[in-house]
């Protein structure tokens, strides 16, 4: 299971920005996320044992939605 801090840190790293530069109110696509970067995140999280679906994340490219999806119990 992921926590909020990990989701933010991993997302910032894949976008090559500081966590403080992430804007949860702006689509991650508008912040530089593309399908290749998204797939890299999905594979990283799957390798860590998290059940995550590319389509679920791609259809809701918003940090708050991702956090809700990835940290649910």
Q: Answer for the pair 41, 31: CB distance below 8 angstroms, yes or no.
A: no
Domain boundaries, the chain: 4-71
Q: What is the DSSP string of 5-67?
A: HHHHHHHHHHHTS-GGG--TTS-TTTTT--HHHHHHHHHHHHHTT----HHHHHT---HHHHH
Q: Answer for the pair 50, 2: CB distance below 8 angstroms, yes or no.
A: yes
The pLDDT tens digits for 55-64 are 999 999 999 9
Q: Which CATH class is domain 4-71?
A: mainly alpha
Which residue is it, tokens 């508008």? Answer: 30
The pLDDT tens digits for 13-62 are 999 999 999 998 899 999 999 999 999 999 999 999 999 999 999 999 99
Q: What is the pTM assigned to this prediction?
A: 0.91
């Amino acid at each position: 299971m992921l926590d909020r801090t990990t989701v933010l840190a991993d997302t910032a790293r894949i976008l090559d920005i500081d966590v403080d530069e992430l804007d949860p109110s702006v689509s991650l696509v508008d912040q530089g996320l593309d399908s290749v970067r998204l797939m890299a995140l999905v594979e990283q999280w799957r390798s860590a044992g998290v059940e995550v679906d590319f389509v679920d994340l791609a259809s809701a490219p918003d940090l708050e939605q991702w956090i809700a999806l990835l940290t649910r119990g």
